[in-house]
Structure 1
Amino acid sequence: MSTLSAPPEAPAEEARVAPFSHRASCGLVTLEPFDPDPFAVPLRRWLSHPASSSWGMVGVSCDDVRRYVAGVVADPHQDAWLGRIDGEPMFFVETYDPSRVLLSEVHDAEPGDVGMHLLVAPAPPPDRRVPGLTSAIMAAVVRFVFDRLDARRIVVEPDVDNVRIAAKNDEVGFRVLGDVDLPGKRARLSVLTRDDAAAAHLAPEPMGWAHRHLVAKSLSEFSHERMIAPHDEGDGWWSLTVAGSAAAPGDATRASSDRPVVVYRFRARRHELEHWVVDEPSVRREIYGEPAELDALELVTELQADLGLPDELMATYLEELSSTLASAAAKRLRGGPTAEQLTTADFQTIEGAMTEGHPAFVAANGRIGFGLDEFRAYAPEAAAPIRLIWLAARRTHTHLALGAGLDEQTLLGAELGGPALAAFAATLAAKGLDPAEYHYLPVHPWQWQHRIAITFAADVARRDLVLLGEGDDEHQAQQSIRTLANRSHPERAYVKTALAIQNMGFLRGLSPAYMRPTPAINDWVAELVAGDGTLQEARFRILRERASIGYTGDAYHRTATPSPHRKMIAALWRESPVPMVAPGERLATMAALLHRDGAGDALASALVRASGVPATEWVRSYLHAYLRPIVHCLRAHDLAFMPHGENLILVLEGSVPTAVFMKDVGEEVALLASRDVPAAVERIVHPVSDREKGLAVFTDVFDGVFRYLAAILDDDGVLPAREFWRLVGECVDRHADEHPWLGGALDLRVDRFDHSCLNRLQLRDTRQMVDLADQSSSLIYAGTLANPIAR
């Protein structure tokens, strides 16, 4: 084993056996030391392919390959690695010390330089190809060389004429040092640092795509919310004329006071609920009649007056938009599984493959506070392993709330295990502290690094908060970025932590005071659900938040005016759905139904095709599992959830949705009529009129989910939108027919309903869209929408 891959004192053979694994968009990528028996056979096939001619080994025999690899492995300055995807051999990697091998005469090697060669198996037939596969492999290999081989820089030397490899190298951020002569070729010497790799998505091609995508989404959603009104030019074409920025970008010949005429032209289809599907490739921008680059930030500045965006909040919104652009570009560069592959993927692979964020919000991936490395480590799309940081929090300053029948020792024993608890107690005892005086509190590693260790330094110094270290389990960020699923033990609870980044109009903290009644609220809702026959028949279940914890001993809790600093140190534990599914059932976030892969193929359409059942039956099953319980809770119990895609987990049987789990109950459930409830549950009682009550279905389900899904199925030729909405009406009518005693309850077949707008909320106040304690008063309306299931 080369010293590139292990410390000099490590036994060589022992170091070679530890494989590397990384969950990428294409699946589980692993690298292991290359064993010529039996892998010389596929490697010979890969090397003999015309696409691998740059390796100079076309026509070699298996014995030639064995001898070649044996020579590499025998050299203390080189190594050979086999790469697999989901267990299948897919690529070959060589690593070497460029100060000793190949480049010693032409490269001024620096400590930590590692040379690298990559060979990917020849592409399969077009119908079996995975978009972005080579990019995903390249990114995983780069991560392997940096993380496992502890490289400071990666060095490559492709042939100067190898345009394809040059493009891949540029894609991940390699910088060209110059051309050098090597045996048999003129090579382009290039290097990659960790900073180069982290910023690879900030290149013209991925960012250009991200601008186009976000401009198209902006035109769609701002039109839907009636902040702009495109002009119908006929034959599916639309135009929008606006006054541009004070001077056209890069145009120094015009006075700065000029307000150029900017015109956007695009093709679009309009669906029910005034939903615009903008054809992204068709979007054009003109300034002074001349073609101009699409720029999502410029679009917002051009539309500032139409959007009602206050001057003092403009920069904050543009920053969230910039972060959303960067996130979109990174996802584009990463690639991902195809929609067809996702039809059989596991729960967390689907979760990590999502690309859009919230379907309605334009600035949907703000994450202000994350740096490049933290995007890579903590963003949901990275699907990277995260280990929670554990603190001991002094009991006198900490509140722990537990659900019915749960005690602290049972909770911690199930979530941490005996060895971890013993280690935590030993850490406290070694500091002369009594473990009995502390609760154990999980925090996000970003929160510890950037907030607790800095903003709460005094609390740590006086040992009201004590760092215990990383937990043993690896977690994965969910689409709700501060919620983490346990990958090491999927049966263990989700952990939701305070994460004080600015994201989609909120600082994502957790209030200890707000969390205090959460377990009691969840128990009350769970009891209601369990005792309702209609909900049980629909297999509607909630994932209870069984425990919450919050620290309040800091100075910020003693100030006269509340501040976001009071929401920095809190967490809750939510049930995992994994132990609750039966054999043959799979889980998927409901957000996946609105997902399109890199080729534009929709997962919802792929699921319908994979199910083998007619589209009408597939939609009926989905509506029975999702819409029927939401309607029933509202009409029978005046109970409203926040049922958007990230808050629902689908149960799939044969690719058909047959049941759902509702989550995020404590923060977002509401009783919309006066009812006698236990004192701990009173927080969720918010009586409203029937007109506003209906928005729990009209806005949150029809406008927030169905307008997208109906358009996807229609545009893909799977199910006409009018048929989709007919099935929605059928589901609502069937519920009314089967519950005649609710005849005086809310009517969901009215002609029109109030058009409640989400982007308008964020644009009004980019720091906090709504007051969680009084969300009703925060709503912004733009007239009414025609109800697609009106009588």
Structure 2
Amino acid sequence: MRTTIEPLALDGATVRLLHRWVTHPRSVYWQMGEASADEVALEYSGISASSTHHAWLGRVDGEPTFLAETYDPAHSPLAGLPEVREGDLGMHVLVAPPEGPPRSGLTRAVFAAVLEHCFAEESVRRVVVEPDVGNDAIARLNKEAGFVVARTVELPEKTAALSFLTREDWLATSGRDADPAPHLSPALLGAAQRRLVTKALSELCHERLLVPVPDGPGRWRVDGPTSSHRFAARVLPLEHWDVDPGSVTREVDGAAVDLDVQELVVEHADALGLRGELVAVYLEELAATLAWTCWQLAHPGPPVASLLTASHGEVEAAMTEGHPGFLANRGRIGFGLADHEAYSPDAAAPVRLLWLAVRRDRARLTLGEGWTEDGLYATGLGSEVELMHDRLRRRGLDPADHLLMPVHPWQWDRKVAVTFAPDVARRDLVVLGEGTSRHQAMQSIRTFADLDDPCRPQVKTALAIQNMGFVRGLSPAYMEATPAISDWVARLVAGDPALQRLGFSVLREVAAVGYTGDVYHRAAPGAPQRKMLAALWRESPVGAVGDGERIVTLASLLHRDPAGDSYATALVEASGLTPREWLGRCLDAYLRPVVHCLLAHDLAFMPHGENLLLVLRDQAPVRCVMKDLGEEVAVLSQTRVLPPEVERVRAEVDDDDRCLAVLTDVVDGVLRHLAATWDRDGVLPVADFWDEVACCLERHAADHPELSSAAADYALQRPTFRHSCLNRLQLRDARHMVDLSDQASSFLYAGELDNPLHRAVPDGGSAAG
């Protein structure tokens, strides 16, 4: 049985479900047998509004099956009892009354899942329960789980058996033997190694760093100084090596040995250009990627079928692959195991952001058009604003002299409290503590969506971990222009009739705040410490979704669930469209506006999986929404007039490389992987896939003859294009992969790729787009 636990969402269907559960005769000890549906809704609305009491909906194999509550005993009827102490967490569990034959082992599986949920928070040392003394069934279950009855206590509505389960007893009783890292097992490591070695062979061959030789029909071999890797693969357009994971073997002196992605890299270090101290840097990113892959394998996500009705946050939490091109794509160097389980998008644990007050004369706040500081706080924090201001006043400080800044909890603990200790001690930075709203980390790790009010702006924070070639900082100086750039892009998009017909829109980055009063800003130009204290607010994608629609990241189209089923395929099947029809709609929503912005405005986005959101209706794409504007848009023209505050986005790119904004970032970076997925699964042959992509460009050209000159300049259907390689960048220096201020000069190339969008014409010429 696969169990999942999620925050209880009080929609009408859930209220009806809860009402049926809690009023059932088998739920007599829940003491709500006579409650109306409105009374049940009122009860759980109160719990949802509480910061010390939480309700959770549990699913078994995707179906709602149980209700759990967790609470702080110090803020409950148990408050004041001498047995209650710091580190205790209270728990209630209700398994849904069966509507058919009882499922063997269901109650025990649910109980085990809820206990694991409780102890997932490292600060929890004991779980507390207080069942009615007459509830013999739960008493037996508690005893089996390791609970020890402390004594009988009189509570307002029952006589209860106050019982405790310590973390140590839970570990022993659950068979975990207090293993602090149960996911790091030989079996899970073997599966993770197979996944990464398969990807290494595919992507490093694609980038022409490894050169396979034929080894039989449909089979290939990569030889190194000491070992050989053999595998079955198909070579698809764009030199995409579609490697069969089950076929990959490694041999040393003719004997089979375990797959090991680090050993593969070490053995081929010269061919990969990996030298000196950077060997260890890259190997550590690979080790971390293996670690978190093992963790994901130990916590399998839901089947793709259940994601067809899932929210944006639920789909985000289910993603497992990360960047499809990078091999070391989940390094997160700086996160320990507890940090990963608390803050990673994989774990999807609710996070409460920490808030600082920063002296107004030592910080910068910039706001987008139509926004004020008070409006930002009212929209982004709601009632928390007054809570933070009260905390400031209690310290004898005036809120008018300070700006409010959200900080990632990890960043505060590991960086700010130490690196900026003098600033904190001087009260230039005033720690206000956690906010009350729960947030979810999105796939970009440092961006958070508000779980309690999804309409609030998302928050992006500085996070000084190393991940995929970057330390994820935010520069106050760089962020200062972000709202203006965002507004300019939004105006351009809104003013283009073609983009409006396509429904294309952007999420504005409406405010940015950064602290600049530290010694690093005064005395250390270019220091990484200058990127540790900044944040921005971005419009919530909720506002881009209409009735009957939902939103998912483009990255989800490349997702496979633990059974290997494709999410994109599941969407096609549920839509009732043919794969080619579905792809055509997706391209019109995604590729066409990206191409139009390039040809009509010389405006390039970074439209990879996490920067673009697809709006779905009836499981098919209808339009797209672009985000991450301030850091990643570029104007590829030296003559186009730009407002002074936007000038930063102008990029110097060779004329012949401007096409790569589509051919590398979209065609090779995203569509190559979707084409391979559908071809492997028998959904749509690659020839038909790339024909439909070419047709999308041609439909746009036919509709916009006024852009024919720009189309000829960009030549998106040219015969070949320069092969820009991502892993080569990371292998060159995994600490500083790209200079964000001059990205084009950082790129590395490996010859040219044949363009699958190229059309030959009968007279021997070619169509150049």
Range into which the TM-score falls when normalised by the shorter chain: 0.7 to 0.9
1:676 corresponds to which residue?
Answer: 641
For the 8 Å contact 1:236–1:269, the answer to whether it is kept is yes
Which residue identity lines up with residue 58 of structure 2 in the other structure?
A: R
2:336 corresponds to which residue?
Answer: 371
2:719 corresponds to which residue?
Answer: 751
1:250 corresponds to which residue?
Answer: none
2:65 maps to 1:90: yes
Q: Secondary structure, in 3 states, of the residue corresponding to 2:734?
A: coil
1:578 corresponds to which residue?
Answer: 542
Distance 1:662 1:405 in 2: 20
Which residue identity lines up with residue 491 of structure 2 in the other structure?
A: E
Distance 2:676 2:739 in 1: 32
2:268 corresponds to which residue?
Answer: 303
2:289 maps to 1:324: yes
2:3 maps to 1:38: no
Distance 2:89 2:490 in 1: 56
1:223 corresponds to which residue?
Answer: 205
2:494 maps to 1:526: no
2:243 corresponds to which residue?
Answer: 278
2:578 maps to 1:614: yes
1:497 corresponds to which residue?
Answer: 461
1:767 corresponds to which residue?
Answer: 735
For the 8 Å contact 1:360–1:758, the answer to whether it is kept is yes
1:212 corresponds to which residue?
Answer: 194
Deviation track 1:15-72 (CA, whole Å, cap 9, x = no partner) reads xxxxx96459xxx9999999897374999xxxxxxxxxxxxxxxxxxxxxxxxxxxxx
Query: Where does structure 2 lack aligned partners over 5 or more consecutive residues?
Result: 30-54, 71-85, 129-141, 147-166, 760-769
Per the TM alignment, residue 716 of structure 1 is displaced from its structure 2 partner at its CA by 1.2
Distance 1:262 1:773 in 2: 41
Q: Which moved more, 1:229-238 or 1:615-624?
A: 229-238
Q: Which moved more, 1:619-628 or 1:262-271?
A: 262-271
Identity %: 52
For the 8 Å contact 1:313–1:765, the answer to whether it is kept is yes
2:755 corresponds to which residue?
Answer: 787
Which residue identity lines up with residue 757 of structure 1 in the other structure?
A: C
Question: Paired residue for 1:481, among 430, 445, 449?
Answer: 445
Distance 1:331 1:475 in 2: 21
Distance 1:640 1:535 in 2: 14
2:675 corresponds to which residue?
Answer: 710
2:572 maps to 1:597: no
Q: Secondary structure, in 3 states, of the residue corresponding to 1:382?
A: coil
2:690 corresponds to which residue?
Answer: 725
Give the 5 Å matches for 1:727-742.
Answer: 727-742=692-707
Give the 3 Å change call, closer, same or farther, for CA 706–190 of structure 1 in structure 2: closer
Q: Which moved more, 1:732-741 or 1:496-505?
A: 732-741
Give the 3 Å change call, closer, same or farther, for CA 517–237 of structure 1 in structure 2: same
Distance 2:433 2:285 in 1: 32
Per the TM alignment, residue 691 of structure 1 is displaced from its structure 2 partner at its CA by 1.4
1:437 corresponds to which residue?
Answer: 401
Distance 1:416 1:609 in 2: 41
Normalised to the residue count of structure 2, the TM-score between the two structures is 0.81
Q: Secondary structure, in 3 states, of the residue corresponding to 1:586?
A: strand
Q: Secondary structure, in 3 states, of the residue corresponding to 2:637?
A: coil
2:485 maps to 1:510: no
For the 8 Å contact 1:29–1:140, the answer to whether it is kept is no
Give the 3 Å change call, closer, same or farther, for CA 595–140 of structure 1 in structure 2: farther
1:72 corresponds to which residue?
Answer: none
Normalised to the residue count of structure 1, the TM-score between the two structures is 0.79
Which residue identity lines up with residue 226 of structure 1 in the other structure?
A: R
Give the 3 Å change call, closer, same or farther, for CA 94–367 of structure 1 in structure 2: closer
1:689 corresponds to which residue?
Answer: 654
2:278 corresponds to which residue?
Answer: 313
Question: Paired residue for 1:421, among 363, 379, 385?
Answer: 385
Question: Paired residue for 2:589, among 605, 625, 628?
Answer: 625
Give the 5 Å matches for 1:545-584.
Answer: 545-584=509-548
For the 8 Å contact 1:135–1:335, the answer to whether it is kept is no
Per the TM alignment, residue 520 of structure 1 is displaced from its structure 2 partner at its CA by 0.4
Question: Paired residue for 1:142, among 113, 116, 125?
Answer: 116
For the 8 Å contact 1:135–1:334, the answer to whether it is kept is no
Per the TM alignment, residue 117 of structure 1 is displaced from its structure 2 partner at its CA by 14
1:700 corresponds to which residue?
Answer: 665
2:324 corresponds to which residue?
Answer: 359
Per the TM alignment, residue 116 of structure 1 is displaced from its structure 2 partner at its CA by 12
Which residue identity lines up with residue 430 of structure 1 in the other structure?
A: R
Per the TM alignment, residue 191 of structure 1 is displaced from its structure 2 partner at its CA by 5.5
Q: Secondary structure, in 3 states, of the residue corresponding to 1:311?
A: coil
1:400 corresponds to which residue?
Answer: 365
2:167 maps to 1:199: no
For the 8 Å contact 1:146–1:152, the answer to whether it is kept is no
For the 8 Å contact 2:145–2:170, the answer to whether it is kept is no
Q: CA RMSD in A?
A: 3.6
Distance 1:176 1:393 in 2: 43
Distance 2:168 2:221 in 1: 37
Give the 3 Å change call, closer, same or farther, for CA 88–364 of structure 1 in structure 2: closer
Give the 3 Å change call, closer, same or farther, for CA 133–617 of structure 1 in structure 2: farther
Distance 1:151 1:569 in 2: 33
Q: Which moved more, 1:425-434 or 1:591-600?
A: 425-434
Which residue identity lines up with residue 65 of structure 2 in the other structure?
A: M
Deviation track 1:634-663 (CA, whole Å, cap 9, x = no partner) reads 111110000000001110001101111100
Distance 2:265 2:99 in 1: 43
For the 8 Å contact 2:369–2:487, the answer to whether it is kept is yes
Distance 2:96 2:395 in 1: 55
Which residue identity lines up with residue 786 of structure 1 in the other structure?
A: D
For the 8 Å contact 2:56–2:69, the answer to whether it is kept is no
Give the 3 Å change call, closer, same or farther, for CA 372–140 of structure 1 in structure 2: farther
Distance 1:725 1:660 in 2: 21
Per the TM alignment, residue 740 of structure 1 is displaced from its structure 2 partner at its CA by 1.2
Give the 3 Å change call, closer, same or farther, for CA 217–113 of structure 1 in structure 2: same
Q: Secondary structure, in 3 states, of the residue corresponding to 2:510?
A: strand
2:298 maps to 1:333: yes
2:353 maps to 1:388: yes
Which residue identity lines up with residue 615 of structure 2 in the other structure?
A: V
Query: Where does structure 1 lack aligned partners over 5 or more consecutive residues?
Result: 1-19, 44-80, 96-110, 160-171, 178-188, 244-260
Q: Secondary structure, in 3 states, of the residue corresponding to 2:610?
A: helix
For the 8 Å contact 1:270–1:276, the answer to whether it is kept is yes
For the 8 Å contact 2:91–2:127, the answer to whether it is kept is no
Which residue identity lines up with residue 335 of structure 2 in the other structure?
A: F
Give the 3 Å change call, closer, same or farther, for CA 541–119 of structure 1 in structure 2: closer
Q: Secondary structure, in 3 states, of the residue corresponding to 2:274?
A: coil
Which residue identity lines up with residue 219 of structure 2 in the other structure?
A: W
Question: Paired residue for 1:237, among 211, 219, 228?
Answer: 219
Which residue identity lines up with residue 239 of structure 1 in the other structure?
A: R
Per the TM alignment, residue 137 of structure 1 is displaced from its structure 2 partner at its CA by 8.1
Give the 3 Å change call, closer, same or farther, for CA 293–463 of structure 1 in structure 2: same
Which residue identity lines up with residue 142 of structure 1 in the other structure?
A: E
Deviation track 1:542-593 (CA, whole Å, cap 9, x = no partner) reads 0000010100111111224421110000000000110221100011111000
